[in-house]
Chain A
Amino acid sequence: MKRTFLLLLFLVSATVSTLAQSRSISGRVTKGSSADALVGATVTVKGTSNSTTTNNEGRYIINVSGTNPVLVFSFVGQATLEIPVGNKTTVDAAIQDETSTLNDVVVVGYSSVRRRDLTGSVSSVGAKQLRDIPLSNAAEALTGKLAGVQVTTTEGAPGADVIIRIRGGGSITQDNSPIYIVDGVQVENALSVISPQDIASVDVLKDASTTAIYGARGANGVVLITTKSGRPGRTIVSYNGAFGFRKIARKMDVLNPYEFVVWQYEKAQLTNDTSFNRIYGSTWDTLQNYKNTPSINWQDEVFGRQAPYQNHNVSVSGGNANTTFNFSVTSNKEEGIQIESGFDRKLVNFKLDHKASDRFRMGFTARYLDQVIRGAGTTNSGTRTTNRLRHSIQYRPFDIPTAPSVEEFDETYYQRSAGITNPVLITEAEYRRAFQKGINVSGYFTYNLLKNLAFRSTTGFDNTYARQDQFFSKITGTARSFGNLPTVSIADQNSITINNSNTLQYTLNNVAKHHDIDVLVGEETYETRSKSLSVETRYLPADISPAKALANINLGSPPAGTSQPAPRSGETPPNRIFSVFGRLNYSYDKKFLVSIATRADRSSKFKYENGLLIFPSGSAAYRFSQEKFMQGLDWISDAKIRVGFGTAGNNRIGDLLYLQLYGVNGEYPLNHTILPGFAPSALANENLKWERTTSNNVGLDLSFFKNRASLTIDMYKNVGNDLLLSVAIPPTTGYSSQLQNVGSTSNKGIEFQLNATPVQNKTFSWNSNFNISLNKNRVENLGGLLEQTRNSGWQGSDGLDDYLVRVGEPIGLMYGFVTDGIYTIDDFTYNATTAAYTLKPGIANANANVGVLRPGVLKFKDQATVDTNGDGKPDAPDGQITAADRVIIGNANPKFTGGWNNQFTYRNFDMSVFVNFVYGGDIYNANKIEWTDGTFPNLNLLGTMRNRWRNINDQGVLVTDPVELAKLNPNGGSTQYSPLAAQRFFLRDDAIEDGSFLRINNVTLGYTLPTTLSKRVKISSLRVYATVNNLATITKYSGYDPEVTARRSDPLTPGVDFGAYPRSRTWVFGLNVSF
């Protein structure tokens, strides 16, 4: 059927012929008002495919025919200019800088279109907007710049994970990140391996009408990155350099030495602990002396440094009309604000395009990456004992004479505080280096088989090698488990991706003066595979250095009866996709635009019989600006309405899950030596198939005031079906879960993108981009279950699940207890003889949550959990605070997100101010729960605990008498509860905070030396600038930063702030020079 259609199409096209008398026109193209030649500008005869490019002097010659030929001059970043030829033989053109984005070229998958002709939903950002942001990760630089694209940098560490979600993400348990296509080739995590300076543009395909052409990989959106090419003309050498520093953006207020000892004193009194005097060498009478004790701010010691930042980028680009090249070398070197942490990256990028003949073009790109991230950071996926930020908050804020000096490891203190370690020492003790090396090579050629028919073949090869070195010195918890001796480990991973696509594109313009037709058919193969190897050695010599240990991993010597863990290697089978696809674009009078595409994919991850899926899509647009009814509205220069529909897939699941397989997952010792054992990896599900996302999109593109302003509005509904869920099956099978295609979710939203150039004249220009997006996520089906709890896991093994996934609600619901003020004296009966407080009947007992019940400790709301009238619904509380009293108390999803970028130029000055914002969306401040808890002795608390309920009077005596206690705590007591002592952590609503923020993300001020001056020193342009990143954040959030998500091993627990690396502010001074 499809073939018949194609055939018809070509028959139609074959009837078209263009035969007329022709003559030759020549001229010169210059840039704006200057006399600078524009090399490589395109000159086209309007309505034909007849075109040429300007040579090194900006000159061109073109043959024209027909009656009233019009020449169209265009150049990237410049406005398009149309000049009727008339009778002239020489036509010179001076083309201005572009203010409208309508003529921007947008890559839409295997080909590109002008934004004007887009029928789908695509957000784009160009090099200009990425230019000055002093970030090594281009993904981070996209934050807030694109409507419908939420970029979350998970913490402040160098090389921190950046989570990108396009329109919310449809999958529940599988990877929701988009795919990245760099110059036509898929590259994993491309934004973190490409220098922002090498990027020419980023186009994000958001709806399935555009992503369906990527079939099985398109469900979460597609990020298309075009790297900078050379331009014909003089060879330009440019240098972009920046120097600066980072500084911690915010610090937590903690108790000072005096407040610290008062709290320890109070805790000792409450728990009958007699060790206080011995440890602090003081009784209550002399405690005042601690007011003079010099305070040590551990946050300053660990995160306080002014961390240097530098970035150098040298590029050489140029070429002639036939061959262009761009070669660049980038070096980023930055220290993290935390001692022992940093980032060092070298990137080499080479791009060559060659036009061998009018018919044959080819190109080649090669990239090399070499990167090291230093430092273990503060967070990991383990429990609180394995996270490290707490040491900087909770370690004793002063030196005491009886203990080892603060420079040394204090074993006694470690024991007495349930594991606190000097934060400087622990940071030095946990050594980590993450190395990454990558080679990425890709090439393409296009051959014009016929005038309108082009064949293009693109092939890419990516080889990434990652290595992680870790060392744990003898004072770390890891070493404590293994005879108090250091442990070292090395983990290697090597991944290879091969991607080949071949397309045939047939273009016919102006058929019968009305019809533009563009047909693309293609085929693609994609393959990836990876190998890993890891070794770990324990029981190294006690004082070995990390370098020596890593260089001599064989130095470990296990005590008798223990053994070293076996080295592990793994290799995945190749993950292959084979696809065929086709797309038809049709436009009538540039007024009605239609695009229809279909892709058929087969993936090796599914049984052959289940592996084929067809991804259809279609979109249409109607440009109504030229219609009669719009005539009175001259201020609207262009208007277009779009509708789109499509289906895309997600196959990011493990390999061969449809086969019953054994892995070397077991082990059993014989004679105390471990032997490997085979064990089934999972219960096979031979019916596994793709996750499928169906999307509907309606969009409106409006341009105003001669395209000086443009507004794009998109509304969408995406439905994810057949989502892979790990479904609980009877564990009596030997497996507790099986992956099944049973889930369903939906995302609905609306996005606005406004671009404007309010002022543009010779001396002053103002360019403004604003975007805002709203997304509403909803779980539609969980495979029969109505809800499922999840655990963020920081609390430890007896922590209650603190997240909830429920049908009809969004993903990311926080599930915990509701606090209800504090227990007052009146809540108890007091027995004067035993000095004991007994809870009155009817008052909910929160013993399990708060430890010993007494006035001043946190009280919880006892939810209705008992069914007293037998209607099957709970209607009465049970008097006990138990796990059943948890309710939904937070939602991690923001109501809307967006950004506003303003760029100004005034004569030779330029300035940009970028703010981004997130509104709504709760943050689960687990740090706060941990740092206000009074379970373990000798730990510091957050400053908010200064105003806690008082248990000791001014004489240092523990008060139990209710009358005295009431006097000590007038008006029912302070609002701040007495620290809990339940030995367990759990989510409660006072840890749920509004994560809304408005961030002045970037402010840049630049000055460009006038050309007249710079030319004298043989410099074609020179600009100096200063920029501040993360200048200020307006938020109610009490933690380090509201842009955080620390518990990422489970995608269903977003928005936890626990142990995350604090964010920094960056000041940078930079220089752009071109020779």
Chain B
Amino acid sequence: MKKLFFKIIVGASALSIILSLNGCKKYLDIQPVSQYSVQQAFGDVANATTSVLGAYDELQGQNGYGLYLGLYFPFDTDEAIQSGGLDNERRGIARYQLLLSNGALRAPFLALYRGLEKANLCIEQIPLMDAYSTGSEADQRDLKRLYGEALTLRAQYLFDLVKIWGDVPAPFTPAYKQADLYLPTLNRDTIYDHILNDLAIAKDLVPWRTEVPRNERITKGAVKALRARIALFCGGYSLRNESKKMERRSDYLTYHKIARDECADIMARRDQHTLDPSFEELWKTYVSGLKPDPYGEVIFEVAAGGGNSNSDGRQGVNDGPSTNAQSRVGQGLGAIQIVPSYFYAFDSVDTRRDVSITNYQINADSRKQARVFTQLTTGKYRRDWRNPLLPGTGLALSYNCVLIRFSDILLMFAEAENEINNGPSSAAIAAMEEVRKRAYKGNESKIGVTTGSKTGFFDAIVNERYLEFGNEHLRKYDLVRWNLLGTLLAPTTGTLRTKLRALSLDPNVPQYMYWRNTPGSDEIEWFGSFYKPSPATAPLPAFNATSAPYGWRQLNWREDLSRTTNVLNVGATNVHYMDAIGYFFTPNKSELYPFDQATLDSYQGKLKQNPNY
């Protein structure tokens, strides 16, 4: 009896010990159910495609081009500004008061690095897949394309980081393979060289746009276009951490050549990419109509859809005209306002003006109402153009965010040629005039004579890009790479303020404009001209809500710019609108953004802040 008892105890103890040491290993070895291991995520072509789509994800959404990168960061410039008084979000960024606590500063920084990490995982894993080297021809082709896309995405994420923050930590391997997570910053030239090489590899891996079904995925044109753009930035000015000055590398012409060659390649394939004959059609029919343009003018774009803050963007809601939530078009915030001088930068027959600028708002009764001079809004993405309309307060309209258009290829080509040849070649002049002629459609004779001098041509390029790419988040970064942002935004003496002051006194700009709703319609019509003094007497009948609902109304035009009460809050004080634009801009500081406080904290002192922050 005692023996039996003893045996049971020993047996039970032994069993427990054995189970705990060996048997339970199997019991405790569990596999993910909803989740995927890294190997599974790159198990076949379909999964690898889903992984690459995951790497695309960070381009879009509130943290990407859908809001912060596309609609917060590119302002203020001489093109447009963020409306309203100072805050610690979009207006803080726009006025160049970049507090390290600004949430809109941190979120896109994180998103770009998330995108980089995902691209790095794809770049590491796709070549390891069996199908990549031994799969069927179709599989190999698909995987090469995916690999090329991942390289391009990595280049895009790093390009945005360098463009905004300068020298940054630049991991080229996934985090779980990094021995030290506290990467030091890498010189931007090294980063640029690396991604330009990556893109040189990628361009041979991805197909031209017509070789595959049409969608927003990266094609050969996009890789080449991005390579050209990056090359121009690499060869342009930037604020250097060492000297704390705006400088460009001495061998910059090497990069102009890269840009010129890539652009020339694309221009040689007009079957793939060319200009839409109509500037307005591109934006109104295709972008706002949610369909691809048949000309391939849009070469690279961030896709939008789903109406949420991750996979969709706020183009047409934050920017575009202010529209009332109760109107049939739904709510537009009109948060980005055109600088008045931009309106007058256009020739009266330039078709780009009324696409790029909206001078109306839409009220609750869906009727348009004219806007005063300093409250004009952007126009390429506008809610009232959406086809079909989307009423309500939804913040996302599924408007793709255009990154590179064919006109950019033409202008980059012209710019690079001018630098390389020390003056514009005939091809360069033709490329620029092609852009102008499309803009002056119907009045092509009025485009003027293109100068043959190097500086004159350069200035013309600067101006043409200003007119062509309004609200396409390029202006500020172009001005930086040309080292012109400082002279433009300098307090009191800046060229922008000089220009605005002159405009506020220009007798040929009307003091007031008169407008009315076209009888029987919600549209607006104007009395007189934007380019002549106000009429001596107001047109009749004058507006009256009950007796003359379609009467004429007076609108502050130049008056709105010159009135002393047109002030914006810039923190402790209110200053005049003209002075408030980019109020805190400081040369040799504001060209780069700072690393936010939480990022510095997480680096535990191992990350150096950008100059003068």
Contact = CB atoms under 8 A, between A and B. Distances in A.
Interface stretch (B27-35, B257-265, B276-284, B337-345): B27-35
B55 to A, nearest CB: 8
B306 A565 contact: yes
A672 interface: yes
Contacts of A252: none
Nearest to A581: B16
A672 B304 contact: yes
B28 A604 contact: yes
Contact of A674 (B28, B168, B306, B603): B306
Nearest to A672: B305
A668 B34 contact: no
A798 to B, nearest CB: 6
A535 B312 CA distance: 20
Given A6-B9, A580-B17, A671 B30 contact: no
A842 interface: no
Given A6-B9, A563-B306, A676 B171 contact: no
A678 B41 contact: yes
Interface string A571-582: 111101010100
A681 B33 CA distance: 13
Nearest to A797: B103
Contacts of A672: 290, 303-305, 398
Interface residues of A, number: 87
Contacts of A975: none
B590 to A, nearest CB: 20
Contact of A732 (B88, B183, B386): B183
A580 B304 CA distance: 55
A678 B386 CA distance: 31
Nearest to B47: A678
Nearest to B103: A797
A481 B33 CA distance: 34
B215 interface: yes
B307 interface: yes
Interface stretch (B68-76, B108-116, B227-235, B350-358): B108-116
B117 interface: yes
Contacts of B183: 730, 732
B337 to A, nearest CB: 19
Nearest to A523: B16
Given A668-B57, A728-B598, A570 B24 contact: no
A14 B88 contact: no
Contacts, number: 272
A732 B171 contact: yes
Nearest to B31: A573
Contacts of A633: none
B175 interface: yes
Interface string B96-118: 00000101001001100110111
Contacts of B392: 479-485
Nearest to A734: B117
A764 interface: no
B13 A3 contact: yes
Nearest to B48: A678
Interface in B370-394: 386, 388, 390-394
Given A560-B388, A663-B34, A728 B28 contact: no
Interface size class of chain B, counting residues whose CB lies under 8 Å from the partner chain: 35 or more
Interface string B418-434: 00000000000000000
Nearest to A660: B176
B395 interface: yes
A940 interface: no
Contacts of A603: 28
Nearest to B600: A730
B36 A576 contact: no
A1010 interface: no
Contacts of B110: 731, 736
A608 interface: yes
Contacts of A576: 27-28, 30
Contacts of B305: 561, 563, 669-674
A177 B308 CA distance: 35
B607 interface: yes
Contact of B109 (A523, A600, A731): A731
A633 B520 CA distance: 104
B51 A481 contact: no
Contact of B113 (A669, A678, A681, A732): A732
Contacts of B181: 729-730, 733
B54 A480 contact: no
A604 B26 CA distance: 10
Given A483-B394, A561-B290, A679-B118, A666 B54 contact: yes
A676 B34 CA distance: 14
Contacts of A578: 19-20, 24, 27-28
B5 A504 contact: no
B176 A684 contact: yes
Contacts of B120: 734
B128 interface: no
Interface in A99-139: none
Contact of B395 (A481, A565, A731): A481
A680 B30 contact: no
A484 B391 contact: yes
Given A561-B390, A733-B171, A661 B9 contact: no
B121 interface: yes
A405 interface: no
A734 B326 contact: no
A671 B215 contact: yes
Given A576-B30, A730-B607, A798 B117 contact: no
A450 B5 contact: yes
Interface in A729-748: 729-736
Interface string A839-869: 0000001010000000000000000000000
B306 A784 contact: no
B93 to A, nearest CB: 13
Interface in B284-306: 290, 292, 303-306
Given A730-B182, A732-B183, A679 B54 contact: yes
B596 to A, nearest CB: 9
A728 B601 contact: yes
A525 interface: yes
A424 to B, nearest CB: 23
B303 A669 contact: yes
Contact of B54 (A481, A677, A684, A845): A677
B30 A573 contact: yes
A667 B306 contact: yes
A656 B35 contact: yes
A6 B41 CA distance: 51
Nearest to B40: A662
Interface string A204-219: 0000000000000000
Contacts of B2: 14
B13 A730 contact: no
Nearest to A411: B326
A675 interface: yes
A480 B103 contact: no
16 contacts: A6-B13, A482-B394, A483-B391, A561-B305, A604-B29, A660-B176, A664-B34, A667-B53, A674-B305, A680-B117, A681-B35, A730-B599, A731-B599, A732-B171, A845-B572, A847-B572
Given A669-B216, A730-B603, 15 more contacts: A3-B10, A450-B1, A481-B392, A504-B8, A562-B307, A572-B33, A572-B34, A574-B30, A604-B27, A608-B25, A656-B35, A659-B32, A674-B311, A734-B118, A798-B88
Listed from nearest, the 9 A-B pairs whose CB atoms lie closest are A734-B117, A669-B305, A677-B54, A666-B54, A677-B53, A672-B305, A728-B602, A733-B175, A662-B41
Interface of B: 1-2, 5-6, 8-10, 12-13, 16-17, 19-20, 24-25, 27-38, 40-41, 47, 50-57, 59-60, 87-89, 101, 103, 106, 109-110, 113-114, 116-118, 120-121, 168-169, 171, 174-176, 178, 181-183, 214-217, 290, 292, 303-308, 310-312, 325-326, 330, 386, 388, 390-395, 397-398, 571-572, 598-599, 601-604, 607
